[in-house]
Amino acid sequence: MIDRSRSKPLLANDRPLKSRVRKPRDPSQPNLPFDPMPERIEPCLALLKQKPPSGPQWIYEIKFDGYRLAIHVDHGRVRVITRGGHDWTERFPAIVAAARKLDVATAILDGEAVVLDEEGRPDFGALQQSLGVRGGRLPSDAILYAFDLLYFDGHDISGMELSSRRHLLESLVRDEGGAIRLSETIEGSGEQIFETACSHGLEGIIAKDRDSAYRSGRTGNWVKIKCVASDSFMIVGYERSASARGQIGSLILAAYRKGVLAHVGSVGTGFKEKQMVELRGLLDRLVTKKPPVAIEGRRPDVVWVEPTLIAEIEYRAFTHDGKLRHASYKGLREVQDNAAVFKIDD
């Protein structure tokens, strides 16, 4: 069982997996001219791989199951920007308060907002519940695991190598129990770290090239390896069920293939009773007579809806005919956050 008093679940009882000792920042920094603070930096995204890379150039971190956020600190003013560029400052008051206490005048932190379960693991469903129903805009008690620093004390440091950015980040984020915590790097082989992460019920790990600059998009400098696949799919309808709560038997899902939505199967597990009732209310406002996707066979019990809601789905794999295997519902993604709907590689 994971020690809930610690913020590093993989380090419990696993001696080979040790984080590096943090060193204080060198106070004698060069006096460089100030760089303008950017309004927004497009995030660096991880490329999905089946196996973790190995070699001395790679560092490893936990893959957190939450919302990607950039925290902008500017002389006491704090902004929380989502991956899609939306301002969610009001939705994360605890993170904002913690950012104001950081010992820095200006900074941009990159990280993931999560809600932890009783065993200290990120719980996406709990995060969704804390944020409220889609559009509800409730303030969340989520915490942020910071894993990169892009702007620091008036200087754009995104062009520095990751190891140097991490060194500065570690000097800045030191409260292991606060609303902003450091995403620790873990020492050991990638395969061993990945196996341990999966055994602890975590989503997976991230491997990063320690010598790489911060580059927006999927450049391959960051790699993600998932224990169980989890991606975003468009809800295009639901199958009626007289016995199920909310009268939803399953959700009909779609992904993009060459820019067009394609049917990828359905999901009928993972729902909580309250979620089903809320979903039915949202879906009934989107009902349409025209199917958004082509689907085989006649489906008299399907209610088609406009492709607006995006669901996060956990699954094992795709079948030979392109359908999801062992799919389980995790929660809704925010449409205004431009969640990346899964794209099928042809």
* Residues forming the active site: 63
| 183 alpha carbon, distance to own chain's centre | 13
DSSP element (H, E) containing 238? strand 229-240
For the chain, the residue count is 346
**β-pairing verdict for 204-209 and 222-226:** antiparallel
| 339 neighbors 280 (Cβ within 8 angstroms) | no
In this structure, how many other beta carbons lie within 10 angstroms of the beta carbon of residue 115? Answer: 20
What is the amino acid identity at position 143? Answer: I
Which residues, in sequence order, are CB contacts of 142 under 8 Å at separation 6+? 66, 67, 92, 94, 95, 113, 114, 115, 127, 130, 131
| 238 neighbors 306 (Cβ within 8 angstroms) | no
Integer Cα distance of 115 and 235 in angstroms: 25
CA angle, corner 57, sides to 31 and 161, nearest 5? 20
Indicate the Cα dihedral angle 82, 84, 88, 93, nearest 10°. -10
| 99 alpha carbon, distance to own chain's centre | 20
Integer Cα distance of 131 and 69 in angstroms: 14
CA angle, corner 184, sides to 178 and 188, nearest 5? 155
In this structure, how many other beta carbons lie within 10 angstroms of the beta carbon of residue 155? Answer: 18
